[in-house]
Structure 1
């Protein structure tokens, strides 16, 4: 999948801009605040129907305006694809592919395989389990519609169950039959989610190990463990029953696949607690390139790779290695953002015969 042209209207800091892309390497440069990250985010928006950095849609509209539009022209093998996402305040977001509206934006997920690496990804290491579940869900959902459908339904049931728990507390009442309706749905959907996550991690671990060794030039052994309440010997229904008192007290569902987590370790020690900055950085980059490898091998296409402020994460030798991989066709199309044009071009020149430098200070 190759992005040929991107057009924005009233998206974040841009009034209007149109950019044509090189099929391999595109370098967005300029001072901080000029909009480099926003360009990459617009590409992500076309792939996932939402911003990577701010999921509140209305806050992606340029200040003082009431709508935005993002339009991308793609090349998929011999086919041309046009994807448009737009939003007007007070209305629902719309997505179109080749002129046809999607009834649900979730139907579009997986059409444009994409991997993004950003400084904000450090949250994968440092923050709570929700961030790591989102990472896992994002990888699996790009190629598994059944998983995405089960996940969306599960989250809806979870929200309804939580609302019922709050209703019980507010009205000092309890109806076990009503609660069991949601419990049964959570068990059925949760089992699908668990099985697919478990299978994914089993396949993903050796890919991650290989990438970590390449990126860190290290013989350290890393591990990735999927932790879920489904791993307990008790049945899931028993777990829900035993946790009911806690749920009623907290007015929230405390047991289920929405509590799953990924455990990152190096040499049997927690990356979060004991990993050096270099180890954390290497583990994170390995995760993202393993994601790329997984999507590429499973779904037969080379995802678009977005590297936001990559020099914040890797030294020039590592960036040079990545650019070399792209040039030698191991990877597909890549977009890089950086504040230093000379530094970026020097690294790219060493490895690429053709590329495009886009200085946004000259574009807006």
Structure 2
């Protein structure tokens, strides 16, 4: 009497579909073909991640996404249009987002506030050692109008020690620091400026092409840039040194450093390079990306997030996000 049941059960075990096992590690394409390109990604943890970018052209303004560890949410800032180029903030708030027209948004307590700024150039980068020590940098174009602003209370003011020739000859693309008395600003023409807590001083980056992003961890700074050929320059022991990538990289636009010599740099044609104690080597994603990756971030678990899309000319669209680590949800969008 038991034999038919055994046969049915055996047949089901062979033929009935089973739930696929979740991907535990490796690269995955989480989002693609988003209305707005994603130009920056940052968070406080793997369950508090922000990504911002291009105007979605749907009347809801710049693309602003938030991930809570389970699902993604499209956030409405109150702006009806515009592109946001960078996001940075603090665990207990606020979160700052900067973009075209001198726009800086502050997100705190569940609300967006559009801050008053001293100019109308594009804010390309934001960083701060604390909510009381925040910087914003940018330019009117890639070739002129570079600026550096500092936040005092609720007021953004230009940093007077920014050299006039640096401002007139290019943009300041990004900045990053390890404390309120130690930060590097990078920009057009290989410009590298160090902040020591009192004034900006021009350093020697060793390159003539634009440096688009800079990051730091464990006493090491890394800046990346270049156009057709990527540039990686590392700062240790008081000196910037250009280091090779294997194989040579295309133009690079984003970099982030983690612990134990680890780092990631991203750029044109979906290029991803990671750093170890032996140097920078290209990653095999396991899938092809035709679009540019513009920025990267490493979370508290050591997982890598990278974003991009069509970023070379407006409209900035075809947004994408990739991730390395335990599989994450794409739900909500």
> Please, what TM-score do these two structures have when normalized by structure 1?
0.30
More helix per residue: 1
